[in-house]
Amino acid sequence: MRGFLFYLFAFVAAAESVSAKTPEWDRAHELYQRTEYAQALAILDRIPEKDVDTLQLAGQCHFMRGDYKQANEAFEKALALAPRSSELHRLIGTVYGRRAETGSVFTAPGNARKAHQYFEEAVELDPNNREAVANLFEYYLEAPGIMGGGIDKAETLVKHIAKLNPAAAFHAQAQLESKRKRYDVAEAELRHAIQVAPQDVGRLIDLAKFLSDRGRMKESDEKFAEAARLAPSSPQLLFARAETFIQQKRNLSDARQLLERYLASPLTPEDPPREDARALLSKAGG
């Protein structure tokens, strides 16, 4: 069920949209942003009367620790207090999506269908919820038709994405074109995304990784170098460049240095987990 991978950045973006209610929540949120999830949960657990914000943050901490059952329970309790929350529907959908990824062949289809249901409800409740639209797009793109997916469905969302984030719409169209194996068109869409958001290092990384996948190593390296000039200390860039080198089985010494810098960086929930970086470092002989 690896096709049901939902981008983590779309999950964690919600952390910034919640406003603090108490000094305890504020401290827990600060710890969450530093990826100190266990410490954040210890503070949240001591809050006697847990409101929606407290339960949502607790769910996010559990999710980031890979405890999807606890995350689901926390989000469901929050949803009972705020049943019209688009964001909570989205977060529950993300949990079911991850459970579909990691579960058995017997449980994965059911969890995937639940993810689909919650993502659609999240978008219905708030069509301007960017992360919900992104999650639904990813579901449509990756899930088989028997479970509600389909390229045609994904394509219907691109115009909607364009209203919310033009650069993201070009990237979404590129994903569609890659799925259709129309790689020249996909590349053009990625380049359009860079033109629309020239200061967004993520768009340069998208193109660099695409070029690498197409075997165009020199051009890929040039785009990574361009991204490094724009944001030399970006953890996202350090991880992506190292991962690409390791996938290509080249420049492994450089990959190890990049991962060591990554592990020493002040990471946030938007960055890949340190465990993933350590696993890559092991593959690179570090």
Give the Cα separation of 56 and 50 in Å (integer): 10
Give the Cα separation of 23 and 161 in Å (integer): 36
State residue 1's pLDDT score: 38
5-9, 79-83, 271-275: least confident range: 5-9
Largest CA distance in the chain: 57
State residue 17's pLDDT score: 43
**Cα separations (Å) of 282 from 77, 92, 223, 255?**
39, 33, 26, 11
pLDDT over 50 (residue 200): yes
Radius of gyration of the chain (CA): 19
CATH number of residue 92's parent domain: 1.25.40.10
**Banded pLDDT at 286 (limits 50, 70, 90):** confident
Cα separation of the two ends of the chain? 30
**Residue 179 forms part of a structural domain:** no
**Banded pLDDT at 143 (limits 50, 70, 90):** very high
Range of the domain at 10: 1-161
**Banded pLDDT at 180 (limits 50, 70, 90):** very high
Q: What is the pLDDT of residues 56-65, one digit of tens each?
A: 999 999 999 9
Give the Cα separation of 269 and 166 in Å (integer): 24
**Residue 116 forms part of a structural domain:** yes
pLDDT over 90 (residue 6): no
Give the Cα separation of 139 and 152 in Å (integer): 12
Q: What is the pLDDT of residues 35-45, one digit of tens each?
A: 999 999 999 99
Give the Cα separation of 29 and 64 in Å (integer): 13
pLDDT over 90 (residue 11): no
**Residue 235 forms part of a structural domain:** no
**Banded pLDDT at 193 (limits 50, 70, 90):** very high
The structural domain count of the chain equals 1
State residue 3's pLDDT score: 41
pLDDT over 70 (residue 181): yes
What is the separation of C-alpha 21 from the centre of its chain, rounded to a whole number of angstroms?
26
**Residue 246 forms part of a structural domain:** no
pLDDT over 50 (residue 112): yes
**Residue 255 forms part of a structural domain:** no
Secondary structure in 3-state letters for 220-245: HHHHHHHHHHHCCCCHHHHHHHHHHH
* CB-CB neighbours of 251 under 10 Å: 18
State residue 12's pLDDT score: 47
Structure tokens at 115: 């993810």
Mean pLDDT of the chain: 93
**Residue 175 forms part of a structural domain:** no
**Banded pLDDT at 21 (limits 50, 70, 90):** confident
Structure tokens at 116: 């689909």
**Residue 247 forms part of a structural domain:** no
**Residue 10 forms part of a structural domain:** yes
Mean pLDDT for the stretch of residues 134-153: 96
**Contact status, residue 96 vs residue 116, Cβ threshold 8 Å:** no
State residue 18's pLDDT score: 45
pLDDT over 50 (residue 151): yes
pLDDT over 80 (residue 10): no
Give the Cα separation of 13 and 110 in Å (integer): 26
pLDDT over 80 (residue 15): no
